Structure 1
Amino acid sequence: MLDKNKVRLGIAPIAWTNDDLPELGKENTFEQCISEMALAGFVGTEVGNRYPKDTEILKKSLNLRKIEICNQWFSAFLLTKPFQEVERDFRMQLAFLKEMGAKIIGVSEQSYSVQGKLDTPIFGHKYEMNDSQWKTLCDGLNRLGKIAKEEYRISLTFHHHMGTVVQNPDEVDDMLANTDPAYVGLLYDTGHFAYCGADPLGELTKHIDRVKHVHLKDIRPEIVEKVRCENLSFLDGVRMGTFTIPGDGCIDFVPIFQTLENYGYEGYMLVEAEQDPAVANPLEYAIRAREYIAQKTGL
């Protein structure tokens, strides 16, 4: 059983309103989203595109529901933009997160990413970095992580993601091997490891000492195979139901939870299962996810 004093549970707003496909869930309001999160029994959330930018308004809305911000995605372009430009945007987001009391920022390198391109197949079209680009990326992450930790008391966690320059296990290995553990952690995502053909449990075991934030999502392998065979995009797969909540797909989460428990993991486990809310009712799936996690972890 995971320790309730160390591990907190959150859920991402992407099940209600999709940032990459704004037409999915356009009928769902911010207030409905966070109210249903609370109703389902979650205490944390990441930041969605419908969330108020005014921190006082956001705090009041979240406090009423006893929910807190635990992380926010940050799109870095360390390979294609001047570092000073990336740093400026990074600091703006850090200031927002510090004001909200968050402890984590989730960074994804979006240079050359195909995850958001509707006309580009997700398999076989990702960009491969050369040695110079690897150095630029890792040096940049170290610099950003040092700023986050030393000036804002926020931990940088790197989000490996389908369609990006750090997608596959060997790329995650290289990124972690060439960054400073004091400044760069791993945002461990079960769904993205499984999607690219990796073993989520094996990757967790390998990198458990770098994991600072956890995304829990399952995959439907028949949809992944359809995406592969028909040369479909990442977002095509999202529409079709590539992802789902823990316990509703093919990933065995019990040994994953056990590994986190054995290591003494502290931080958030956050359900992040983007689906079409018109097909997968967000409240229903949130309740199902919460019940599954309670059953398997005692949380």
Structure 2
Amino acid sequence: MGRVDIGTAPDSWGVWFADDPQQTSWTRFLDEAAAAGYTRIELGPYGYLPTDPVRLKDELDQRGLTMTAGTTFEQLHRPDGWDATWRDVVRTAELTAAMGAKHLVVMPSMWRGDNGEVVEERLDHEGQVRHGQAVTELGRWLAEEFGLRTQYHPHADGHVDTQDTVERFLEETDGTFVNLCLDTGHISYCGGDNLELIRTYPDRIGYVHLKQVDPKILADAEADGIGFDEAVRRGVMCEPPNGVPELPPVLDALAALDADVFAIVEQDMYPCSPDVPLPIAERTLAYLTACGGGGSR
């Protein structure tokens, strides 16, 4: 039996960007994450938390916090995407490794925009093969240069999003260098089956984001043809246990893996009032711990 260790992320405090006046300040996020009972956090968008590693380490130490992962996007499906991707990834990787974290969560570029319009063609089979090879190469470089494990995060409206594109991605990548950040909310948002992915690819579940989807808001969003960002503004990602997937079976399946897994609470709430996140964070940690999560410690 493995252990499921719960943490949180700036995303659960309404943070999507490095600098945005609508967002909770970074000091308040750190203070409240610790106050809610968490001891593990993610970096969030590069530039939101201090980028000087000495200062950031001191801020985390003061609050009894450690970092589990950094997060970044990639553009490797594009023929000219390597240089732009590496430029953005390397700074996040440097800071993540300096904090002692072992994981880098990498997300795909989007095929659909905020207004629901198609901004890029979906990848065909050949494109998926090339993309998988490029992400594997990225994972190899991150392992060799920074000692980081690449955990790939399917994302609604991204080039890896639905169950079939996730499964194809896993087939086209090398598990030595790339595994899956199973985001329960994004998988459910796109009609996938989290438990089936855990059962079918137990060796590829390297990291987890925990969130739930409100089925009613999702159905309305699909009927209206809107993009993911607008669906989030409508509240499509909801506080557990009010949505899908049911998290106790997911936690049980993760605990049955022969591995210790970080499961990071990441409830998309952009934008939100600064007074909203803390009570949700406290209730969510208590709920997940009661459901069998390893807790924050």
Q: Provide TM-score, normalisation by structure 1.
A: 0.89
1:195 matched residue in structure 2: 189
Asked whether 1:101 is paired with 2:95, we answer no
Instruction: Give 1:64-143 correspondences, 5 Å limit.
Output: 64-80=62-78, 81-110=80-109, 112-114=110-112, 117-120=113-116, 127-143=121-137
Counterpart Cα distance in 1 of 2:253 and 2:21: 35
Instruction: Give 1:150-189 correspondences, 5 Å limit.
Output: 150-189=144-183
Which runs of 5 or more residues in structure 1 are unaligned? none
Aligned-partner SS, 2:181: strand
One of 197, 205, 223 as aligned partner of 2:199: 205
1:284 matched residue in structure 2: 279
**C-alpha displacement of 1:100:** 1.1
Aligned-partner SS, 2:104: strand
Counterpart Cα distance in 2 of 1:10 and 1:126: 34
Asked whether 1:266 is paired with 2:247, we answer no
Asked if 1 retains the 8 angstrom alpha-carbon contact of 2:212 and 2:238, the reply is yes
User: For residues 125 and 255 of structure 1, do their structure 2 counterparts lie closer, same or farther at Cα, with a shift above 3 Å needed?
Assistant: farther
Aligned-partner SS, 1:223: helix
Counterpart Cα distance in 1 of 2:232 and 2:81: 32
User: For residues 125 and 88 of structure 1, do their structure 2 counterparts lie closer, same or farther at Cα, with a shift above 3 Å needed?
Assistant: closer
Asked if 2 retains the 8 angstrom alpha-carbon contact of 1:106 and 1:158, the reply is yes
Asked if 1 retains the 8 angstrom alpha-carbon contact of 2:4 and 2:254, the reply is no
User: For residues 23 and 55 of structure 1, do their structure 2 counterparts lie closer, same or farther at Cα, with a shift above 3 Å needed?
Assistant: closer
1:52 matched residue in structure 2: 50
Q: Which amino acid aligns with 2:82?
A: F
Counterpart Cα distance in 1 of 2:221 and 2:20: 21
Q: How many residues align?
A: 290
Which runs of 5 or more residues in structure 2 are unaligned? none
Counterpart Cα distance in 2 of 1:55 and 1:292: 33
**C-alpha displacement of 1:18:** 2.6
Counterpart Cα distance in 2 of 1:205 and 1:91: 33
Q: Which amino acid aligns with 2:13?
A: W
1:32 matched residue in structure 2: 28
**C-alpha displacement of 1:92:** 2.8
Counterpart Cα distance in 2 of 1:270 and 1:61: 20
Aligned-partner SS, 2:256: helix
Q: What is the root-mean-square deviation in Å for CA atoms of aligned residues? A: 2.2
**C-alpha displacement of 1:21:** 10
User: For residues 298 and 79 of structure 1, do their structure 2 counterparts lie closer, same or farther at Cα, with a shift above 3 Å needed?
Assistant: closer
Counterpart Cα distance in 1 of 2:239 and 2:90: 32
User: For residues 146 and 23 of structure 1, do their structure 2 counterparts lie closer, same or farther at Cα, with a shift above 3 Å needed?
Assistant: closer
Aligned-partner SS, 1:212: strand
Q: Which amino acid aligns with 1:51?
A: L
**C-alpha displacement of 1:206:** 1.7
Asked if 2 retains the 8 angstrom alpha-carbon contact of 1:11 and 1:45, the reply is yes
**C-alpha displacement of 1:125:** 7.7
Counterpart Cα distance in 1 of 2:70 and 2:196: 26
1:15 matched residue in structure 2: 12
Counterpart Cα distance in 2 of 1:162 and 1:126: 14
**C-alpha displacement of 1:82:** 4.0
Asked if 2 retains the 8 angstrom alpha-carbon contact of 1:16 and 1:25, the reply is no
Query: Relative contact order (alpha carbons < 8 A, sep ≥ 6): 1 or 2 greater?
Result: 2
Report the identity percentage.
Answer: 25
